[in-house]
Amino acid sequence: MQSSGRLILVCGLPGSGKTTLAEALEGRLQAIRFSPDDWMDALSINLHREDMRAKVEALQWELAQQLLAQGLTVIIEWGTWARSERDALRLGARALGAAVELHYLNAPSDVLLERLERRGRENPPIERDALFEWVEIFQAPTNAEMALFDEPLMADFSNPG
């Protein structure tokens, strides 16, 4: 089954610029963007509630699959820290006949922290120790994993690597 659908995964730690990139791609590609933070804010759910974040992401994936099957372009900017999570999304989208791209954003830990402090979206703010712990947990995509994805329609605009 071949739809002309396309799933765009934007992966990276908090502050890496996922939403910034996803919003730019959304406009250029006429895509539908799924941000858990936006839905959680709209539902007055604290962004630290990981249990609710998981439920919001599950809802977004249900909807995303319907849109992909209809041939639309969908952007998922959940963070997707784990290789297994990215594998599941890639295989799920391919099963619907959609193409899948992966964009990985990264910046040094103190840059991430500084951006998050300046943005001030979380309450209470993300702590330095927590962020540094997440840097250790995060499974950055390897070249071998990147090769499993389709060529992006648009390159990243600014990614210091």
Ligand X SMILES: Nc1ncnc2c1ncn2[C@@H]1O[C@H](COP(=O)(O)OP(=O)(O)OP(=O)(O)O)[C@@H](O)[C@H]1O
Dist CA 30 CA 13 (whole Å): 25
Asked if 60 touches Mg ion (CB under 5 A), the answer is no
> DSSP class of residue 13?
S
Q: Say how many residues touch Mg ion, by CB under 5 A.
A: 2
Asked if 18 touches ligand X (CB under 6 A), the answer is yes
Torsion of CA 129, 157, 94, 27, to 10 degrees: 110
Q: CB 38 → Mg ion: shortest distance, Å? A: 8
Q: CB 88 → ligand X: shortest distance, Å? A: 19
**Interacting partner of 5 out of Mg ion, ligand X, none (Cβ under 5 to 8 A depending on kind):** none
Going across the sheet that includes 73-79, the strands are: 32-34, 73-79, 6-11, 99-104
Burial label for 13, CB within 10 Å (0-12, 13-18, 19+), is buried
Task: Choose between 29 and 148: whose C-beta lies nearer to Mg ion.
Answer: 29
At 35, the amino acid letter reads S
Asked if 109 touches ligand X (CB under 6 A), the answer is no
Q: Say how many residues touch ligand X, by CB under 6 A.
A: 13
Question: What is the x/- site pattern for ligand X, positions 117-136, by CB under 6 A?
Answer: --x-----------------
Q: CB 32 → ligand X: shortest distance, Å? A: 17
22-81 positions binding ligand X, by CB under 6 A: 37, 79
CB 97 within 8 A of CB 5: yes
Dist CA 95 CA 49 (whole Å): 31
Residues of this chain that interact with ligand X (CB under 6 A) are 12, 14-20, 37, 79, 115, 119, 158
